[in-house]
Structure 1
Amino acid sequence: MKIYNIFGVILNIIFWAGVFSINCYDCNSDTGNCNEGECEGKLCVRTETASLDTNRKIVIKTCSNDDEPTECYQIPFGSQFISRCICDYPLCNGDKDSLLDMENHAILPYYFSVKKFFPFIIFILTYYISILF
């Protein structure tokens, strides 16, 4: 009985550690897109800076360990605008046809994200396994 409880605790630690990090694209591009390199963090971030004068777009993709809401927003800055999207599932900061696609993913309620349900599921499974054995 104690072995199953210890096994359950170890499983919980392993799964909880993995739940709090996801893989994201990690790259910079002045051609408007990139899906290279990867980093690990709590959230994925995609920032685009576009100039209306030069028709140039710079894309920066990276990871974040900050506690930020999953959302997309735009900031006008003279003849430029900056779009920033924050999302919480693996490789969600990849290239899309437009940031609107990414916004649709970010609109999902935060409590429906997989990384929020996964620890609960593991906890329940571990609890019932320890009771059954």
Structure 2
Amino acid sequence: FCHPAPAGSRFNSSDRGAWYAGFELQTSQAEIVYHRQLWLRETAWEEEDSADYLDYLADFRADFHDLRATTEFAECLSPTSYAASQALAGQLLELGSAGIVYPSVRRARGTCLACFRPVLVTNVQDSRTPPTIRRA
């Protein structure tokens, strides 16, 4: 929430972050792999790379806007542009939204959540899953 990416992410701008989560471990890993590889390309990183990540479990008790059963917001699920999704998130945030549940763009049949409100992220626990991502 406090340290958003300079260009923002799918459902947040550079002004305010969000808590992103995958409903499934494989979805979280697919999202992380994509963004890590993108960062490596953008920085022209050429050395071997290895990164350890912690997998957290958290509870969310709120009503979230759900984009899974509609095609109305398909432009918000672009694999390359966050313009439409950031605009939607800005509108929903102003209306007091808790966040958005949406289909993963990086893993077929995966589900993601973007929570806009820090107070709604509760019972955060280390899941003890030791994922390691290596550059191929």
Fold match (TM-score > 0.5): no
| TM, length-normalised to structure 1 | 0.23
Structure in which a larger fraction of residues adopt helix? 1
Q: Answer with 1 or 2: which has the greater Rg.
A: 1
If asked which structure has higher relative contact order (CA below 8 Å, sep 6+), I would say 2
Structure in which a larger fraction of residues adopt strand? 1
